[in-house]
Amino acid sequence: MDEPDFESLLSEFDLRDMAGFTRNFVEDLKSALTVELDLEEETDWSGVLCLGMGGSGIGGAFISSILNKTSSIPIQTNPDYCIPGWVSENTLVVACSNSGNTEETLEAAFEAQKRNATITCVTSGGKLEEYALKKNFPLVKVPAGLPPRSQFGHSLLSLAWTLVRFGIFPENLYSDLEATHKSTRESVDNVVEKAEVVADLVEGKSIHIYSDSHAECIATRWRQQLNENSKILVNSMAFPELNHNELVGWAAGGQNDVVIILRTPEDYKRTQTRMAISAEIFQEMGSDVIFIDPDGENQMQRLMNLVFLGDHLSLILAERAGVDPVEIDNIIRLKNKLSDI
């Protein structure tokens, strides 16, 4: 008996069309490029803090990665209730919450306001929108009613656009964004094909996702998507830090493990050597090792290609397992219990 094809599985299990959200990733990029913001440029910032959790927070990690080696000020993500002690009136704080009701992000934004930081909000509505309108903070709207993790194109580029207008993100972002939209659109078929191949290699195994530290945001995105869409536990960590602890833990590794190493030309040269040697050790412990090299002409395109690939991998594994990629029952259960306390 023939196995059902991918589209048949989609129709059976993806009842709320996460596949459609993923396919719309390219158009999300395009539409985000057209967002108009009513912001005044500032240049004398001491730092940028990006507030956000999960799918609403990964855009800040992506921006931090892109600017880390060139920015003269720290650009830090903050997936927490509390904010760093250095936040002050010279800090730009961007609060990102797709629903607008993420309690950690709201509490962090309230604390930032107490310290007279400049606050901008990226949301589809909820309490964060009400807060922005009440305080007359700059407000960037993203589409409502969709899973936050499916809104990566909107949230990332809305955040990037905000930082451009505040004079923090380089002006060449415009051309990079346009090229990213074009390259992502052109790579769809290739990405889906590659995701199918990777799925064949990792299905049913314990997955460990590693990258250089500059691309840790991508390893995190892959882990989050596999957690939420595929409903599986996944480990992620970055070189070279993992060589100082997790590598020893591989004494307990085995044939049920598989390592995915995300590589880019931007990886630090010495780290590339560490990746190669570590891969030999993982294989000696019985694990399979898969190196993933992205397509793209620049860092932005390559990182976006990796995001798109990981999203499709998570969707394919969800369909093969017969699980609804949109369902997040455990998170809803947690939030319901928290609301009673």
- What's residue 9's pLDDT? 47
pLDDT, position 171: 74
| Residue found by looking up tokens 């369902």 in the block | 327
The per-residue pLDDT for range 150-164, each reduced to its tens digit, is 778 777 878 888 888
133 and 251 both lie in a single domain: no
Same-domain status, 206 and 308: yes
Give domain status of residue 172, yes or no.
Answer: yes
Same domain, 171 and 242: no
The phi-psi region of residue 150 (left if phi > 0; otherwise alpha if psi is between -120 and 50; otherwise beta) is: alpha
Residue 86: its pLDDT value, please?
A: 97
The one-digit pLDDT tens for each residue of the chain (341 residues) are 344 454 554 455 445 554 544 455 555 555 544 455 555 555 689 999 999 999 889 999 999 998 888 899 999 999 999 999 999 999 999 999 999 999 999 999 999 999 999 999 999 999 999 999 999 999 988 888 777 767 787 778 788 888 888 888 887 866 676 677 778 778 888 999 999 999 999 999 999 999 999 999 999 999 999 999 999 999 999 999 999 999 999 999 989 999 999 999 999 999 999 999 999 999 999 999 999 999 998 888 899 899 999 999 999 999 999 999 989 999 999 999 998 88
Domain carrying residue 140: 17-180
pLDDT at position 183 is: 80
Do 81 and 217 lie in a common domain? Answer: no
Q: Are residues 194 and 155 in the same domain?
A: no
Say if residue 195 is in the same domain as residue 171.
no
β partners of residue 123: 97, 141
Q: Flag whether 8 is in a domain.
A: no
What spatial distance separates the first Cα and last Cα of the chain, rounded to whole Å?
Answer: 52
* Backbone Cα Rg of the chain: 20
* Domain harbouring 239, CATH code: 3.40.50.10490
H or E element at residue 94: strand 91-97
Confirm whether 309 is domain-assigned.
Answer: yes
Structural domain contains residue 236: yes
Verify that 121 and 215 share a domain, yes or no. no
pLDDT (0 to 100) of residue 2: 46
Residue 140: per-residue pLDDT: 86
Residues 143 and 211 in one domain: no
Do 99 and 241 share a structural domain? Answer: no
Question: Which of 149, 180, 211 finishes a domain?
Answer: 180
pLDDT recorded at residue 106: 98
What number of other Cβ atoms are within 10 A of residue 249's Cβ?
11
Q: What are phi and psi of 234, to 5 degrees?
A: -140, 145
Asked if 200 and 301 sit in the same domain, the reply is: yes
**Rounded Cα–Cα distance for residues 111 and 16 (Å):** 36
Residue 334 lies in a domain: no
Same domain for 217 and 104 = no
* 207-to-199, 227, 284, 301, 338 alpha-carbon distances in Å: 11, 11, 17, 25, 31
Domain check: are 176 and 54 in the same one?
Answer: yes
Tally of domains in the chain: 2
